[in-house]
Chains A and B, each alone.
Chain A
Amino acid sequence: MHDALIAVAMSGGVDSSAVAALMKRQGHNVAGLTMQLWNQRRLPQLATEATTGRCCSLDDVYDARRVAEQLEMPFYVVNLEEHFEESVVKPFVADYLEGRTPIPCTHCNTFIKFDRFLELADSVGARSIATGHYARVTRNDDTGRWELRTAVDLSKDQTYFLWGLTQEQLSRTLFPLGGMTKPEVRQLAVDFELAVAGKPESYEICFVPNGDYAGFIDAYLNEKGAGAVDAQGAIVHEDGRKLGNHAGAHRFTVGQRKGLGIAAPEPLYVISTDPKSQTVTVGGNDSLLRSTLVARDINWISWAGLEAPARVDVRIRNRHVPSPAELVPLPGGRVEVRFDVPQRAVTPGQGAVFYSGDLVVGGGWIE
């Protein structure tokens, strides 16, 4: 009955507000939905001055509502805090404690924004959703597959976090900002006189307001009655020398240089962390270089799968420039990535995303 109703995911930020305005201007029948994902007042010991302006704070819901009012569109706030905690926060904490460096935004996209949100869209009778992500979706008539492409504004490109999208999800998703630059989007917000046009951008993980992951994990475990992580251990040089002690391996991430608390003649970096023995191994920059990695839980996007080795460019963290590599299929839905040139700080828990030009071929989790 709601012909072509489009559900717009509105966070209260500039980007999703601009999307709502664009869809409305194009004459679409739109409804705005804000997902309340995390209670920013929940772990008060982490509060910073910035907390009130964080994603999912009451201020953001207020902003989203104000934009919806301005655009005269129906608007609803839906509480998904329980789902968010189960499918994003808990895995984030578990990953850290197991020595990986997780990317919660990918989990959130896979399990909340393009899963629960599509269900919400279904429930309000909307076939399509529109979000403020910087990426593009195209349809390849030859292969019959939906394709994900990098944003025109590469400095804002978010495909690194979107590799988990299924064909079904892509077929229902609109990324109206994928062809625009950030300055153009800001200008659009100004032109529409949107109340949020001058709002600053947020970069941190939304539920870790001050960027202190270890502090978040301790506070979260403490809230659960688990007590702080008792994870003291040794910092060991890769040549076997013990250099010092640390207060928990989860406080370190591969490639980290600062905050080791060790005086050494040459710069030292974290090479690996072992949560079982609570050992943090450090070494020189060269020791960080890896020429291969194995990725699991692969999601293929523009390709249906991988039968034989193939050439791609692989990105191993968000701001990493994709690097040429050969993809080799392994049993169990895994692949081996063989880089032409060794890469610095291959980090377990992060995503490895495979590109061919502006196409996202697929991606997986680094083992």
Chain B
Amino acid sequence: MSHYYFDHNATSPVAPGVLQCLVDSIAEVSGNASSIHYYGQAAKRKLEGARRKLAGSLGCDPRELVFTSGGTESDNLAILGVGRKALRETGRAHVVTSAIEHPAVLNACTQLEREGAQLTVLPVDGVGRVEPGDVKRALRPDTCLVSIHHANNEIGTIEPVAKLAKAAREGGALFHTDAVQTVGRTPVDARVLGIDLMSIGGHKCGGPKGVGALYIRKGVELDAILHGGHHERDRRAGTENVPGAVALAAAISGGPDLWIGIAGLRDRLERGVLARVPGTRLNGDPSSRLSNTSNIAFDGIGGEAMVISLDLRGYAVSSGSACSSGAVEPSHVLLALGMDKQTARSCVRFSLGPGNTVEQVDGLIEAVADSVAHLRRVSPAPLTREFAHA
């Protein structure tokens, strides 16, 4: 059986050009970029070349970029780094975030709360948008950071980040955005967005896993969260992952061209599914959404069962529910949109990428229609059933 990948918001395959670039630099770079000798200098040249290239893609200064191990570390560095500095210097820290952030942001915020900070979690509207006015109202004299993602990985909604950042900065707070789902897929300019901190990852846009970066606007200071050598201007200790940085820069500079036609495929999938399958609804903001993402609720179906059923038909998708082991709650993102638990459990996320074709999309539409028909037949109301107590 052939297998087709429609889960690019979880991770994407490494783009062919990026793979070559990664393999080459693993082979070429043998030195430690912090060493003073010939080998070290060669590694340092590669690293700084990657930093300049990435800065070119993001419209920033190379010195404003810190390489990290990925989006999660970048989020942690931004939130813990800014928050701990404020706590250390003033004894107070107030952080504002939204209810639909990635766990890397939400859990870094709750960690900061344990360390003495105060947290405000903003609601979102029915399509997942954060209201700039809400940010304004949440600000306090001790607010050190507002963290709102650029786009949501589950429903694809793109936040009005420029407006949100403006609101935060006018109130004297720094603004961080997790842009892991957008950077590398679409052109993103740090200056145009007007943000202070931005998390970037490599593997959602054709780069390798295990590498990312944090944009830190010139003048913004934060405490390091990893302690060791003086790498990355004392902001991130650890021997630099030069091949990873090179591949990250390549993926992000080449990505947007590869992802350019995806919206058409996504729309074809969406039209096909909504037309073929009764009892379906679209989630997220149709007017401002990631071009590759479609999140659909299927009445009376368990998203988990749907994912399994499609997988056995050769199509990899993801359910809206957070199905990491141990988690039983439906997706916090979908619940924050105002959905009830049962509807939230009925949602499936399709996220496309450059490797998908019209034929694959048409095949997926058929498979979805088949799966839904089958699941509705065998299990008319899978989640409402009450158990009799014998």
Q: Which residue of B has the minimal Cβ distance to A34?
A: B325
Q: Judging by beta carbons under 8 Å apart, are B323 and A91 in contact?
A: no
CB distance from A113 to the nearest CB of B (A): 13
**Contacting residues, chain B, for A122 (C-beta < 8 A):** 378-379
Q: Is the CB of A365 within 8 A of B390?
A: yes
Distance in angstroms between the alpha carbons of A124 and B307 in the assembled complex: 9
Q: A119-B382, A122-B379, A125-B312 are in contact. Are A79 and B389 (CB under 8 A)?
A: no
Contact between A78 and B304 (Cβ–Cβ < 8 Å)? yes
Within 284-308 of B, Cβ neighbours of A (below 8 Å) are at 302, 304-305, 308
Task: Check A110 for interface membership: any CB of B closer than 8 A.
Answer: yes
A77–B325 contact, CB under 8 A?
yes
Asked whether any CB of chain B lies closer than 8 Å to the CB of A69, the reply is no
Contact B309 A74 (CB under 8 A): no
Q: Is the CB of A79 within 8 A of B390?
A: no
Question: What residues on A are CB-neighbors of B370 within 8 Å?
Answer: 1
Q: Which of B302, B382, B387, B389 has the most CB of A within 10 A?
A: B387
A40: nearest residue on chain B (CB-CB)? B326
Selected contact of B379 from candidates A76, A123, A365, CB within 8 Å = A123
Question: In the complex the two chains form, what is the Cα distance from A82 to B327 in whole Å?
Answer: 11
A interface residues, how many (CB within 8 angstroms): 34
Q: Which residues of A contact B327 (CB under 8 A)?
A: 79
CB distance from B242 to the nearest CB of A (A): 33
A111 CB-CB contact with B under 8 Å: yes
The reply to whether B308 and A58 contact each other, CB–CB distance below 8 Å, is: no
Interface residues of A in 154-178 (CB under 8 A from B): 164
Given A111-B387, A124-B312, the answer on whether A82 and B304 have CB atoms closer than 8 Å is: no
Q: Does A61 contact B (CB under 8 A)?
A: yes
CA distance A2 to B311 in the complex (A): 12
Which residues of chain B from 216 to 264 have any CB-CB distance to chain A below 8 Å in the complex? none
Query: Which residue of chain B has its CB nearest to the CB of A29?
Result: B312
Which one of B312, B326, B389 contacts A91 once the chains associate, using CB atoms below 8 Å? B389
Interface residue A83 (Cβ < 8 Å from any Cβ of B): yes
Rounded to whole angstroms, the CA-CA distance of A5 and B370 in the bound complex is 17
Q: Do A124 and B387 contact each other (CB < 8 Å), given the known contacts A36-B325, A79-B323? A: no
Tell me, yes or no, whether A297 is within 8 Å of chain B by CB.
yes
- Which A residue sits closest to B326, measured CB to CB? A39
Decide if B268 is an interface residue (CB 8 Å cutoff).
no
Give the shortest distance, in Å, between B367 (CB) and chain A (any CB).
10
**Across the interface, do A79 and B387 meet the contact criterion of CB distance under 8 Å?**
no
Interface string of A109-147 (1 = CB under 8 A from B): 011000000011011110000000000000000000000
Q: Is the CB of A79 within 8 A of B379?
A: no
Known contacts: A119-B378, A123-B302, A123-B305. The answer to whether A79 contacts B328 by CB under 8 A is yes
Q: Assuming the A-B contacts A110-B390, A124-B308, are A119 and B323 also in contact, with contact meaning beta carbons closer than 8 angstroms in the complex?
A: no
Q: Does B140 have its Cβ within 8 Å of any Cβ on chain A?
A: no
| Bound CA span A125–B308, Å | 10
CB nearest neighbor in B for A82: B328
Q: How far is the CA of A319 from the CA of B34 in the complex (A)?
A: 69
Shortest A23–chain B CB gap in Å is: 16
Q: Are B326 and A86 within 8 A (Cβ)?
A: no
Report the Cα distance A172→B21, complex, angstroms.
53
Contact A123 B323 (CB under 8 A): no
Asked if residues B389 and A123 are in contact (CB atoms below 8 Å), the reply is no
Write out, one digit per residue, whether chain A residues 200-212 have a CB within 8 A of any chain B CB (1) or not (0): 0000000000000
Q: Residues of B contacting A124 with CB < 8 Å?
A: 305, 308-309, 312
Q: Is the CB of B326 within 8 A of A58?
A: yes
Mask, A67-87, CB within 8 Å of B = 1, is 000000010111101110011
Contacts of A197 in B (CB 8 A): none
Q: In the assembled complex, how far is the CB of residue B253 from the closest CB belonging to chain A, in whole angstroms? A: 37
A249 proximal to B (CB < 8 A): no
Q: A87-B389, A111-B387 are in contact. Are A120 and B305 (CB under 8 A)?
A: yes
Which residue on B lies nearest to A110, using beta carbons? B390
Min CB distance, B151 to chain A, in Å?
Answer: 27
Q: How far is the CB of B309 from chain A (nearest CB, A)?
A: 6
In angstroms, Cα B327 to Cα A111, docked, is 21
Q: Which of the listed residues A58, A91, A120 has the most CB atoms from chain B within 10 Å of its own CB?
A: A120
Task: Please give the distance in Å from A96's CB to the nearest CB on chain B.
Answer: 14
Q: A123-B378, A125-B309, A297-B390 are in contact. List 13 more A-B contacts (CB 8 A).
A: A36-B326, A39-B328, A74-B312, A78-B304, A87-B389, A94-B389, A110-B390, A122-B378, A123-B305, A123-B375, A124-B305, A164-B390, A365-B390
- Would you mind naming 24 contact pairs between A and B with Cβ atoms under 8 Å apart? A2-B312, A39-B326, A39-B328, A41-B326, A61-B325, A74-B311, A76-B308, A78-B304, A79-B304, A79-B327, A79-B328, A81-B328, A82-B328, A87-B387, A87-B389, A91-B389, A94-B389, A119-B379, A122-B379, A123-B309, A123-B378, A124-B305, A124-B309, A125-B309
Sort A-B residue pairs by CB-CB distance and give the 3 closest, nearest first. Answer: A122-B378, A123-B305, A87-B387
A-binding residues in B (CB < 8 A): 302, 304-305, 308-309, 311-313, 323, 325-328, 370, 374-375, 378-379, 382, 387, 389-390
